[in-house]
Amino acid sequence: GESVGLHLPTLSVQEGDNSIINCAYSNSASDYFIWYKQESGKGPQFIIDIRSNMDKRQGQRVTVLLNKTVKHLSLQIAATQPGDSAVYFCAEGTGNQFYFGTGTSLTVIP
């Protein structure tokens, strides 16, 4: 499959601070991107998605930024809370294929 990778494997942030998780993708034909959160022993949970015709999309406390020029995706979490501690994956989609990056483990320090 295509290569989707994350820059930082681990990230620790203080509770209340903002978190930024980055992702690089390699398939310039990908037109749909998703961020997922996965807690230990559980399946991934959808956070937010963005199509390639957009640069930014906001959700509740989360913002996804897409830079197609450098094939880079980021997830921003505002006012990070202990419950945000998990592994975060980005995924790129082309048609009926979805491939995941390696994941970033986010730890929120109380």
- Distance between CA atoms of 58 and 91, rounded to whole angstroms? 17
* In the complex, minimum distance from the CB of residue 54 to other proteins, in angstroms, rounded to a whole number: 13
* In the complex, minimum distance from the CB of residue 109 to other proteins, in angstroms, rounded to a whole number: 20
- Show the beta-strand stretches assigned E in 2-54: 4-5, 10-14, 19-25, 32-38, 45-51
CB atoms within 10 A of CB 13: 17
Q: Which residues bind other proteins (CB under 8 A)?
A: 1, 32, 34, 36, 41-46, 49, 89, 91, 93, 96-103
DSSP element (H, E) containing 53: none
Residue placing its CB nearer to other proteins in the complex, 19 or 100: 100
Residue placing its CB nearer to other proteins in the complex, 75 or 100: 100
Token output for 94: 């082309």
Residue placing its CB nearer to other proteins in the complex, 18 or 26: 26
* In the complex, minimum distance from the CB of residue 16 to other proteins, in angstroms, rounded to a whole number: 27
